[in-house]
Amino acid sequence: MSEQTTQYKPSITIADQQAAAGKGAREFMMDVRTTDLEVNMGPQHPATHGVMRILIRADGELVTGAQPHLGYLHRCAEKIGENVEWLQYLPYTDRYDYLSSMNNNLGYSLAVEKLLGIEIPRRASMIRTICVELNRIASHLVAFGTYGLDLGAFTPFLYCFREREWLLMLFEKICGARLTYSYLRIGGVFNDAPPGWLEEVEQFCDVFDEKWVEYRDLLMMNHIFIKRTADIGVITPEQALDFGLTGPMLRGSGIDWDLRRDMPYMLYDEIWKAGVYQIPLGSGAQGVLGDCWDRVYVRVQEMVESIKIVRWCLANIEPGPTIAELPKVLRVPPGEAYVGIENPRGELGHYLVSDGGKVAVRCRVRGPSFCNLPILEDIMPHTFLADSVAIIGSTDVVIGETDR
């Protein structure tokens, strides 16, 4: 073992060479050996979504080792949560996973509401569901579009952003912000939807149903795309469970687990029982079960399922209050609560402990990207350098959330 592995130690540094030369040692390689390159992907690199750094060891084109490094975007979100008031922390949740801020708001709000033990008005839940699902689409559009970009397909990215732009405009209309919404508040939503907003959402759903087919045919069913992603970065179902993956990463490996159905919150139980949506699963349609293609296709299908949920909400929404009556200074009864919600990237859990004061005693976040990341180390070796980009893209990590 040691005899052989010494050959593959990181490439000789100049200092080593000079030391060897100083000793007068002359070594001849008996075998033509190629050097291992240590390629630093990130923190500033076009392939990494955000400031992620992955140290890749490559033997020519073959990746022999990969190690993700974290912490370039650490902002002490959890510690801040233990120092600011309950409501004041809400805007910080926007910043973990900035592509799905609505979901983050929802996760935190639900956890606090569980501690408070309050009932949310039904209209508020409806609007929440609409916003969260639209945000899921917006997030998946980025994931899908940038994945195309990673594989060199530029145009689908901009098509995705065209639809995302509409979504962002919708969000802007309802809450005034395009990225960090802070719209879903503890007890409901900040304000009611402006007049005409729900109709515009309806329009969006109609358009998106057509466009979705376009995306699928343009990129997902592209021959080159399939060749690049099928059989690459395979995560077996066992592996997926071992690493505690959640979200599309887990479902891409064919494991039927979706918190919206299995640990329901808000109205999702009712929606599921109404038979509105399905949970798309990876099937290995183009290759092995759990490959990159499966993961990406799960996301693409989820967008349509989200549209179905939005449509159901639009059909069943009724007038009423949109926020529960709460005191100005929130004092949360003592206790602890954990609420996990289905973020676009997997399970976003908030664990909150209160001692009855204005500030949380403990605020812990279980981020899906963070928990989905370590598997890179396992699936990246023995692939090609180009595959590593495909694999990183298919995990769809948002670094804001891995580091928090």
Partner 1 sequence: MDLRKQQIAFYTALLFGALAAMGWGLKTAGIQGAMFGFFASFTLGGGLMCIWERSVVRSAFSLMATFCGVAGLFILLGHDFLAMAQILIYVGGILVLILFGVMLTPPDLNERQLPRVGLGVVAVVGALAFVGAKVAAVVNWAQAETLPPAETKAEQIGAAFLRADGYVIAFELAAVLLTVALVAAVYIARRKPSDLIDLTEEGGY
Partner 2 sequence: MSMILIWLLITVACYGAVIGTAALMTFAERKVSAAMQYRYGPNRVGPFGLLQPLADGVKFIFKEEVIPAGANPWIFKLAPILTALPAMLAIAVIPFTGVIGTFEGTEVLGSIANPEIGILYVLAVTGVGVYGAILGGWASNSKYSLLGGLRASAQMVSYELSLILAVLAVVATTGSLNLHEIVAGQSGWFGWNVFSQPLAFVLFLVCSYAETNRHPFDFAECEPELVGGFHTEYSSMKFAMFFIGEYTAMVVMACLTTTLFFGGYLVPFWADAPWWMGLIAFGAKTSFFLLLFIWVRWTLPRFRYDQLMHLGWKVLFPLALINIFVTGLVISFGPGAN
CA distances from 216 to 145, 157, 204 (A): 11, 13, 18
116 or 373: whose CB is closer to partner 1?
A: 373
17: contact with partner 2 by CB under 8 A:
no
65: contact with partner 1 by CB under 8 A:
yes
Distance CA 303, CA 358 (A): 38
Query: What 8-state DSSP symbol labels residue 8?
Result: G
Of the candidates 95, 136, 141, the one whose C-alpha atom is nearest the C-alpha of residue 341 is 136
Distance CA 354, CA 401 (A): 23
Q: Which of 15, 28, 196, 315 binds partner 1 (CB under 8 A)?
A: 28
Distance, C-alpha 188 to centroid of its chain: 24
Give the amino acid at 58: A
**What is the separation, in whole angstroms, between the first and last Cα of the chain?**
40
Q: Which of 44, 46, 60, 269 binds partner 1 (CB under 8 A)?
A: 60
69: contact with partner 2 by CB under 8 A:
no
51: contact with partner 2 by CB under 8 A:
no
Query: What 8-state DSSP symbol labels residue 121?
Result: P
39: contact with partner 2 by CB under 8 A:
yes
Per partner kind, with CB cut-offs from 5 to 8 A, the member of partner 1, partner 2, none near residue 225 is partner 2
Per partner kind, with CB cut-offs from 5 to 8 A, the member of partner 1, partner 2, none near residue 385 is partner 2
Give the amino acid at 169: M
Q: Select the span of 81-89, 128-136, 158-166, 348-356 touching partner 2 (CB under 8 A).
A: 158-166
45: contact with partner 2 by CB under 8 A:
yes
Per partner kind, with CB cut-offs from 5 to 8 A, the member of partner 1, partner 2, none near residue 273 is none
- 3-state SS of the chain: helix, strand, coil percent to 5? 50, 15, 40
Query: What 8-state DSSP symbol labels residue 355?
Result: -
158: contact with partner 1 by CB under 8 A:
no
Of the candidates 364, 369, 368, the one whose C-alpha atom is nearest the C-alpha of residue 78 is 364
The CB-of-219 to partner 2 minimum distance in angstroms stands at 7
17: contact with partner 1 by CB under 8 A:
yes
Per partner kind, with CB cut-offs from 5 to 8 A, the member of partner 1, partner 2, none near residue 4 is partner 1
Six-digit token string for 135: 């945000």
19: contact with partner 1 by CB under 8 A:
no
Instruction: Build a one-symbol-per-residue string for 377-396: x at contacts with partner 1 by CB under 8 A, - elsewhere.
Output: xx--x---------------
Contact 337, 352 (CB under 8 A): yes
Give the amino acid at 394: S
Distance CA 8, CA 236 (A): 28
Distance CA 81, CA 87 (A): 10
Q: Which of 225, 268, 277, 297 binds partner 2 (CB under 8 A)?
A: 225
Measured at the alpha carbon of residue 227, what is the angle toward residues 226 and 228, in degrees to the nearest 5?
90
Q: How many CA atoms lie within 13 A of 31 on its CB side?
A: 4
356: contact with partner 1 by CB under 8 A:
no
Per partner kind, with CB cut-offs from 5 to 8 A, the member of partner 1, partner 2, none near residue 219 is partner 2
The CB-of-47 to partner 2 minimum distance in angstroms stands at 4
Sequence-ordered alpha helix ranges (H) in 117-154: 122-150
Q: Which of 40, 44, 46, 67 binds partner 1 (CB under 8 A)?
A: 67
Instruction: Build a one-symbol-per-residue string for 32-51: x at contacts with partner 1 by CB under 8 A, - elsewhere.
Output: xxxx----------------
Q: Select the span of 65-73, 239-247, 314-322, 378-386 touching partner 2 (CB under 8 A).
A: 378-386
Judged by phi (left if over 0) then psi (alpha if -120 to 50, else beta), residue 28 lies in beta
User: Which secondary structure element, helix H or strand E, spans residue 184, and what is its range?
Assistant: strand 184-185
The CB-of-391 to partner 2 minimum distance in angstroms stands at 12
Number of residues that bind partner 1 (CB under 8 A): 26
The CB-of-386 to partner 1 minimum distance in angstroms stands at 18
Q: Which of 10, 20, 33, 38 binds partner 2 (CB under 8 A)?
A: 38
Binding site for partner 2 (CB under 8 A): 37-40, 45-47, 58, 60-61, 148-155, 158-159, 162, 219, 222, 224-225, 227-228, 384-389
